Structure 1
């Protein structure tokens, strides 16, 4: 199958290229970039010389639709919503790594993304691409909304507790950390070496774009409106997300009991690994891989449940999950091409 990547100069795109290079059923046919049209990929990323050295083009929907079977959008927000409907009408499947098709509520999108939501017709066509909850819907969709990185780690950590009605739903605290690659490749004072090195800071309190995404999916799971306290932090490492979640248990359950429930919940989901009692995962243990690792601690003294969920923000949090979704959309085994072991150390 031939695929194209729109937004070819970003970290999401180059991670797609890295992973797709080993996919047995896929060829990267075209790489599109408005800002770098006419430039060879190796001029932007020299490490790809003599491997994938395509010349990047500007996006022409009609022409591209005749050359490829599926398009990945690794673009900033408020771009793909103008193009994916055109591909949809031409019968081309699209996987969107931005947030343009994740939210269903117009007011929420305007508040957090400062723009209008895509046409309602296409929002209804889109499927939220968290394979662990939407596998069957993903198989049939033509528009795939790939989840955000923070929501992926957080939702995978919380959903089993919601499923088994273990926790109170009115006091959910999410303390999340990301490496600097989560900010993208663009220049920013916030991730300048002198600002970030030996530093650790919270940002976008109460205004991060992933808040409504987390709340939307938890609301769907709970059957009632859920609000969360979400505090993101940026830490001086390149890759990785750790989402540490604090919730109140409805009644006493030991760590061992909850871990057993989690392991049963994810037993048929190959990319989620739940640690045994007393073992809490670190971001290094999923580095470069499509795994989400989860650790559980039930505090008998306070009645609180602490969930630690880690992913690589560029793989399970973006490009790896996008390929996992592509596999499902194409009827292939969902692990195809993305079974790389974590890089350690």
Structure 2
């Protein structure tokens, strides 16, 4: 089915806002429906006067029947646990879905319920078949499946940034399967638009702190995709940090090389071979390390690699805009594939630097 009309549900959150901004400039998509719960019944200009939309549309309660009348695909930017209340009926009505939440990122509903225990207690899900059907929306690795999917689960920002540099080396068997460590740092917008005490300026400014040191939700999401590509169970250590900036995410991944004779140039060639045909990934030359500002407001991931011959360790670095390649823009990248378009259509790739 052709995709032209897009419904954006959760339109006034950070993910929804970024999606709308991108859709406004997209040559092939139009916004057919705006949905929200707390914002339902309000004109768009009341909520976000800084982002004018044609005809100042009304934000409506996201009822699947209404969405199906006015959209071919729904982009859901909702808190975890809410998308699953809409998706089954949307699919029944022929509306394809890209979900920005974690509701369909796991192959197993039982695993989702374990990782998202609090959300699972408040929503009694029975859609285990859809969990196994959903395609993980990492376009550089699942493009063909995304193109034909009814339901795409957009990855989290931390998994996107960590998996892009890591997966080629797992795929080629170039690193040890155990002992992988991911150290990641994100801006405050990763916590969403809703007010949270730890994201207040007085709390986050002039400070950096780790959180979710053991058992962060994205750990198991990263492990799931890494295990699929490696062909065996992968356990890794993941530690996120909150840094005092609004947007941007940097992951540094450490792994032990199977062949300590490999050089940084060899490993850069590995990344180049996997991503040379993907416009949204830039592999940097040896000795050039990515900065989050380079990726700001773009759908580009900047990757770099170094080898410490003294320790036999591979050091992978990756920077993205957490609201773009880490969220909304990657969702549009998936929509492009679903519509049969080149994956980078309508997406900004040139940095707004400085």
TM-score by length of structure 1 reads 0.97
* Distance in 2 between residues matched to 1:86 and 1:51, nearest whole Å: 28
Residue 289 (1) aligns with residue 294 (2):
no
Kindly indicate whether the alpha-carbon contact (under 8 Å) linking 1:81 and 1:118 is maintained by their aligned counterparts in 2.
no
* Distance in 1 between residues matched to 2:319 and 2:55, nearest whole Å: 30
The residue number in structure 2 matching 1:29 is 32
Kindly indicate whether the alpha-carbon contact (under 8 Å) linking 2:109 and 2:127 is maintained by their aligned counterparts in 1.
no
* Distance in 1 between residues matched to 2:352 and 2:249, nearest whole Å: 15
Q: Which of the residues 257, 264, 277 maps onto 1:255? A: 264
* Superposition pairs of residues 205-216 of structure 1, within 5 angstroms: 205-216=213-224
Q: Which of the residues 170, 181, 195 maps onto 1:173? A: 181
Kindly indicate whether the alpha-carbon contact (under 8 Å) linking 2:302 and 2:320 is maintained by their aligned counterparts in 1.
yes
Cα deviation, residue 120, structure 1? 2.0
Larger displacement relative to structure 2 (51-60 or 213-222): 51-60
Relative distance call for 1:97 and 1:238 in structure 2 (3 A) is same
Q: Note the residue ranges of structure 1 that are not aligned, 5 or more in a row.
A: none
Cα deviation, residue 48, structure 1? 1.4
* Distance in 2 between residues matched to 1:213 and 1:113, nearest whole Å: 12
Residue 302 (1) aligns with residue 319 (2):
no
* Distance in 2 between residues matched to 1:105 and 1:232, nearest whole Å: 25
The residue number in structure 1 matching 2:47 is 44
* Distance in 2 between residues matched to 1:344 and 1:223, nearest whole Å: 40
* Superposition pairs of residues 1-345 of structure 1, within 5 angstroms: 1-49=4-52, 53-114=56-117, 115=120, 119-252=127-260, 253-345=262-354
Cα deviation, residue 60, structure 1? 1.2
Kindly indicate whether the alpha-carbon contact (under 8 Å) linking 2:74 and 2:98 is maintained by their aligned counterparts in 1.
yes
* Distance in 2 between residues matched to 1:266 and 1:155, nearest whole Å: 13
Larger displacement relative to structure 2 (235-244 or 159-168): 159-168
CA shift digits 1:110-168 (9 cap, x unpaired)? 22211166512212221111111111111110101111100001110101111221111
Kindly indicate whether the alpha-carbon contact (under 8 Å) linking 1:215 and 1:227 is maintained by their aligned counterparts in 2.
yes
* Distance in 1 between residues matched to 2:338 and 2:188, nearest whole Å: 31
Q: Deviation above 3 Å: which 4+ runs of structure 1?
A: 49-52
State the Cα RMSD in Å. Answer: 1.3
Larger displacement relative to structure 2 (216-225 or 107-116): 107-116
Q: How many residues align?
A: 345
Kindly indicate whether the alpha-carbon contact (under 8 Å) linking 2:108 and 2:128 is maintained by their aligned counterparts in 1.
no
Cα deviation, residue 207, structure 1? 2.6
Q: Note the residue ranges of structure 2 that are not aligned, 5 or more in a row.
A: none
Secondary structure of the residue aligned to 1:66 is helix
